[in-house]
């Protein structure tokens, strides 16, 4: 078996590679081509609880054939769709399947008596695809209606061009077919305007009603003027005013650019959906489902493993291990006893569901409820104002220029047809067709290239804001450091026998405790990837996990009595029959390449990097010292983090990297935000990008990609200005016929696309 370190980024990817080829599905990698794979690490080896899946299927158990529509994370391309559907259809009882990578959903029908649902879920999970309790795709910019518009407008544009061609080839208006062809052209153009143009009209009008100006406004004006000018030309018999083909082609191209942009973002969002850390519904102890945004006070809730407590509550279970990393940044879990107060944002790290009683009701203003608002962050006011100013100047120049040129032709020739033709031609050829298509393509290509470095943009504003960043601010726990502590003495693990490693694998496989996850990760890296032990471990909150084998030997992983007395939180022991076999010590270390990356950022950005953390000041200082970060603050409340970010934002734009509830206000206040896509579920709704790289080496590369994108955008704008200067001169001279406009517009778009299609280079700064 090939070494993971030689051929694969991690054991998870190596395992998936072997499973795929063992099942004869190697075509997946051929279909995948250059699309990068997301590192899986230990996820395929973890044991998942599929009880929710069986509960979802219970309602249809009285049927012979049933169907389910679920969420599915991990899909990124059509190769993933092919693999998921092929593997699912190989499962006994599965009839039909439909995977949708754009929305992260999976729909399938199955025979109730023969299909093993948990077996299907386990099979997909081992390949890196996780079934989720609900259909995803709730991101802003869902493309269903836009795809329909695009398809219809594409067909209508082809009709318009095909039936316009005879007129360009010299067909006389007296020909019998001329009237019929013209009717088809007008009808196709009209339908295109109503179906496709209305998309831009509504957006432009909505912006105007709110006192703003959207990029869709010049698009809308160009479409409206060219269409009604063409109607005037048709009704008066002047073919020099026929721009019906322009209306159809331009609408289709603009919709194509918009679809490209939204589709790219939606795929990235769907790829990184997570399951139940913050569900939309919680169950009461009586089984009733409550909307997360409407949980009343004094309600008994069941909190499944790995799920956040939505409001301040008290523990009704005997005991529970809870993580406060989202709130305080503390890397280790804490033991809570019966009736103990639990803060909102605590995550259940026990192996079983716990019962809590809410102290307060959820409301719109609390942080947990705000996390449900999975919207794409809007551009800052200053950015919108700059964009609106540019559009205002552009529109003013074009409108005034068109009016003066038309007026000049009227005074010199008294030919109203020529004057109107000059006016329409100026508005037609100056429409931002090329740039409207090329900019979304540039963002899409930049995003795809960044994927190879584990960077996944999620919002439309990401690339535009990135080039303006003056300072990077980090949270500590889970961001600058990994989401689990690092095992210090790995020799303790390597010296264990294969049997002991297998037992340790069983004890840690389904545990959410950060120390267990760290040991489990090291076991996977060392080659222990499975267990033949059928017994399930027993968890004792605050003590650890234990298992008794058929031979009578008992094993325990947890904190010894001495460790419990000293309060040492970053250590645990592995014992056999109460005799310690191995003692594990952990430390919170910065991610690899963090020091070098921060040094690079400090040299290229306006201001040096900073740490804002809710963790203990001493721990923050230790990490800051290792990374040579002079500005660092600990013991901060979420509001204090937000205040710091807002203070810095007054002088420069900030990129904030965080991963917890205590980071939410700061994430929302920063010009740009990012989060790690960790092994356990973290918050992804309010960030502009996710990163899967376990090192910090992606940051300098990200800045380098942004610089290359900026150069391409500059070249595109320069070409657009030069193009407009030339074609406007031709229009003012009265030489721009509808035929020339029909040729120049798509040709210009192709040149614009060529300018942004140059391959990115991989040289880091």
pLDDT tens-digit map of 592-650: 899 999 999 999 999 999 999 988 888 899 899 999 999 999 988 888 999 999 999 99
Q: What is the per-residue pLDDT for 374?
A: 41
Whether residues 226 and 360 share a domain: the answer is: no
Name the pairing type of β-strands 579-587 and 289-291.
Answer: unpaired
Rounded to 5°, angle at Cα 623 from 618 and 627: 140
Instruction: Tell me which of 764 and 734 has the higher pLDDT.
Output: 734
Put the strands of the sheet holding 631-633 in their side by side order: 455-457, 689-691, 672-676, 653-657, 469-474, 610-612, 631-633
E strands, 476-621, are 486-487, 538-540, 544-548, 554-558, 571-576, 579-587, 610-612
Say how far apart CA 619 and CA 615 lie, in whole Å. Answer: 7
DSSP 70: E
CB 670 within 8 A of CB 649: yes
Half-sphere exposure in the Cβ direction for 278 (13 Å, CA): 22
Domain limit, last residue, from 353, 370, 387: 370
pLDDT in tens, 430-489: 766 677 778 888 888 888 888 878 888 888 889 988 989 999 999 988 888 887 888 888
Nearest to 589 by CA among 488, 700, 699: 488
Q: Give the number of domains in the chain.
A: 5
Whether residues 399 and 300 share a domain: the answer is: no
Say how far apart CA 651 and CA 648 lie, in whole Å. Answer: 6
286 phi and psi, to 5 degrees? -90, 0
Residue 538 scores a pLDDT above 60: yes
Query: Which residue has tokens 């079983």?
Result: 352
Nearest to 428 by CA among 140, 147, 221: 221
746 belongs to a structural domain: no
Whether residues 185 and 237 share a domain: the answer is: yes
Residue 422 scores a pLDDT above 50: yes
Q: What is the per-residue pLDDT for 612?
A: 94
Q: What is the per-residue pLDDT for 268?
A: 60
Mean pLDDT computed over every residue of the chain = 80
Torsion of CA 477, 481, 487, 488, to 10 degrees: -110
Any bridge partners for residue 320, and if so which?
336
- Which residue segment(s) compose the domain that 563 sits in? 486-587
Whether residues 362 and 227 share a domain: the answer is: no
Domain at 80, CATH number: 3.30.70.100
761 belongs to a structural domain: no
Residues in CB range of 169: below 8 A, 6 or more apart: none
Domain limit, last residue, from 569, 587, 605: 587
14 belongs to a structural domain: yes
Residue 561 scores a pLDDT above 90: no
CB 381 within 8 A of CB 542: no
Nearest to 248 by CA among 342, 353, 159: 159
Write the DSSP string, 504-545. Answer: HHHHHTT---HHHHHHHHHHHHHT-------PPPEEETTTEE
Q: What is the per-residue pLDDT for 278?
A: 65
Whether residues 416 and 402 share a domain: the answer is: yes
Residue 5 scores a pLDDT above 60: no
Give me the sign of the Cα torsion angle 403, 405, 411, 413: negative
Q: What is the per-residue pLDDT for 265?
A: 63
Quick one: which H or E segment has residue 290?
A: strand 289-291
Residue 380 scores a pLDDT above 70: no
Is the pTM of the predicted complex or chain greater than 0.95?
no
Residues in CB range of 228: below 8 A, 6 or more apart: none
Say how far apart CA 510 and CA 284 lie, in whole Å. Answer: 24
Whether residues 196 and 296 share a domain: the answer is: no
Q: What is the per-residue pLDDT for 444?
A: 84
- Token reading at 257: 């650019």
Whether residues 344 and 405 share a domain: the answer is: no
pLDDT in tens, 474-522: 998 888 888 788 888 888 898 999 999 999 999 988 787 888 888 988 8
Whether residues 581 and 608 share a domain: the answer is: no
Q: What is the per-residue pLDDT for 343?
A: 84
Least confident of 264-268, 286-290, 375-379, 452-456: 375-379
Burial of residue 502 (number of CB atoms within 10 Å: 0-12, 13-18, 19+): middle
Q: What is the per-residue pLDDT for 381?
A: 47
Nearest to 712 by CA among 642, 760, 645: 760
Write the DSSP string, 296-317. Answer: PSS-EEEE-TT-B--S-EEE-S
CB 10 within 8 A of CB 4: yes
DSSP 662: G
Whether residues 98 and 14 share a domain: the answer is: yes
Domain limit, last residue, from 82, 106, 132: 132
Residue 173 scores a pLDDT above 60: no
Domain at 529, CATH number: 3.40.1110.10
Whether residues 159 and 251 share a domain: the answer is: yes
Instruction: Tell me which of 67 and 762 has the higher pLDDT.
Output: 67
**What are the start-end ranges of the H helices in 688-737?**
698-732
443 belongs to a structural domain: no
Whether residues 294 and 223 share a domain: the answer is: no
Q: Classify each residue of 360-385 as buried b or exposed e, where b means 16 or more C-beta atoms within 10 Å of its C-beta.
A: eebeeebbbbbbbeeebbebbeebbe
User: What percentage of the chain exceeds 90 in pLDDT?
Assistant: 17
Q: What is the per-residue pLDDT for 355?
A: 92
Any bridge partners for residue 576, and if so which?
555, 579
606 belongs to a structural domain: yes
For the chain, report the end-to-end CA distance as a whole number of angstroms. 36
316 belongs to a structural domain: yes
722 belongs to a structural domain: no
149 belongs to a structural domain: yes
Residue 140 scores a pLDDT above 60: no
Report, as an integer, the average pLDDT of 74-83. Answer: 80
Burial of residue 428 (number of CB atoms within 10 Å: 0-12, 13-18, 19+): buried
Whether residues 225 and 353 share a domain: the answer is: no
Residue 553 scores a pLDDT above 80: yes
Give 368's pLDDT tier (boundaries 50, 70, 90). low
Instruction: Tell me which of 502 and 273 has the higher pLDDT.
Output: 502
């Amino acid at each position: 078996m090939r070494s993971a370190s030689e051929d694969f980024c991690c054991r998870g990817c190596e395992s998936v590679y072997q499973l795929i080829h063992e099942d004869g599905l190697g075509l997946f990698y051929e279909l995948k081509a250059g699309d990068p794979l997301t590192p899986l690490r230990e996820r395929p080896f973890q044991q998942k609880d599929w009880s929710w899946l069986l509960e979802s299927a219970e309602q249809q158990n009285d049927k012979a054939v049933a169907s389910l529509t679920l969420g599915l994370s991990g899909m990124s391309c059509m190769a993933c769709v092919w693999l998921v559907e092929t593997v699912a259809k190989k499962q006994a009882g599965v009839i039909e399947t439909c995977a949708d990578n754009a929305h992260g959903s999976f729909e399938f029908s199955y025979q109730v008596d023969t299909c093993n649902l948990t077996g299907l879920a386990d099979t997909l999970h081992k390949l890196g695809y996780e079934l989720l309790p609900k259909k995803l795709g709730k991101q802003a910019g869902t493309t269903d209606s836009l795809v329909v518009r695009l398809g219809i407008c594409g067909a209508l544009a082809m009709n318009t061009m095909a039936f316009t061609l005879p007129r360009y080839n010299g067909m006389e208006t007296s020909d019998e077919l001329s009237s019929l062809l013209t009717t088809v052209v007008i009808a196709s153009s009209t339908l295109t305007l109503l179906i496709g143009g209305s998309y831009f009209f509504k957006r432009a009008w909505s912006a105007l009603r709110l006192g703003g100006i959207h990029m869709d406004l010049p698009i809308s004006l160009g479409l409206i003027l060219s269409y009604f000018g063409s109607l005037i030309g048709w009704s008066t018999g002047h073919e020099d005013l026929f721009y019906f083909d322009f209306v159809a082609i331009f609408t289709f191209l603009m919709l194509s650019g918009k679809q490209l942009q939204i589709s790219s973002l939606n795929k990235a969002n769907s790829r990184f959906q997570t399951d139940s850390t913050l569900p939309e519904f919680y169950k009461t102890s009586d089984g009733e489902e409550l909307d997360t945004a409407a949980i009343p006070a004094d309600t008994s809730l069941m909190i499944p493993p790995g799920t956040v407590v939505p409001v301040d509550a008290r523990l009704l279970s005997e005991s529970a291990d809870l993580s406060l990393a989202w709130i305080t940044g503390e890397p280790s879990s804490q033991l809570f006893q019966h009736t103990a107060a639990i803060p909102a944002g605590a995550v259940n790290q026990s192996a079983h569901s716990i019962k809590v009683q809410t102290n307060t009701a959820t409301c719109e203003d609390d942080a947990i409820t705000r996390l449900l608002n999975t919207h794409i962050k809007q551009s800052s006011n200053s950015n919108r104002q700059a964009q609106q100013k540019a559009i205002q100047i552009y529109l003013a120049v074009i409108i005034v220029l068109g009016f003066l040129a038309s007026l000049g032709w009227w005074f010199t020739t008294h030919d109203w047809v020529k004057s109107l033709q000059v006016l329409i031609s100026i508005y037609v050829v100056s429409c931002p067709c090329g740039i409207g298509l090329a900019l979304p393509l540039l963002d899409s290509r930049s995003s795809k290239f960044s994927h190879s470095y584990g960077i996944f943009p999620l919002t439309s504003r990401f690339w535009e804001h990135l080039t303006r960043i003056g300072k990077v601010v980090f949270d500590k726990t889970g961001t600058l450091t990994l989401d689990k502590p690092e095992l210090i003495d790995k020799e303790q693990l390597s010296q264990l026998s294969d049997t002991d490693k297998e037992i340790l694998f069983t004890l840690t496989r389904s545990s959410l405790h950060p120390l267990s996850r760290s040991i489990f990760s090291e076991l996977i890296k060392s080659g222990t990837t499975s267990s033949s032990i059928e017994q399930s471990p027993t968890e004792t909150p605050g003590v650890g996990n234990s298992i008794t084998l058929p031979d009578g030997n008992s094993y325990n992983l947890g904190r010894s009595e001495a460790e419990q007395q000293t309060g040492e939180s970053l250590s645990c022991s592995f014992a056999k029959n109460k005799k310690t076999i191995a003692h594990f010590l952990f430390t919170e270390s910065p991610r690899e390449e963090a020091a070098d990356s921060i040094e690079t950022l400090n040299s290229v950005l306006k201001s040096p990097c900073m740490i804002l953390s809710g963790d203990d000041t001493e721990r923050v200082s230790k990490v800051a010292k290792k990374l040579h970060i002079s500005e660092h603050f600990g013991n901060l409340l979420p509001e204090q983090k937000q205040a710091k970010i807002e203070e810095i934002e007054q002088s420069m734009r900030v990129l904030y990297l965080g991963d917890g509830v205590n980071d939410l206000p700061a994430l929302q206040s920063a010009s740009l935000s990012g989060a790690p896509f960790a092994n356990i579920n973290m918050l992804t709704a309010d960030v502009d990008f996710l990163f899967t790289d376990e090192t910090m080496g992606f940051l300098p590369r990200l800045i380098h990609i942004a610089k290359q994108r900026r150069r391409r955008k500059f070249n595109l704008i320069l070409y657009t200005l030069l193009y407009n200067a030339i074609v406007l001169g031709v229009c003012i001279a009265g030489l721009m016929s509808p035929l020339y406009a029909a040729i120049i517009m798509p040709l210009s778009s192709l040149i614009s696309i060529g300018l942004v299609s140059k391959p990115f280079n991989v040289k880091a700064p």
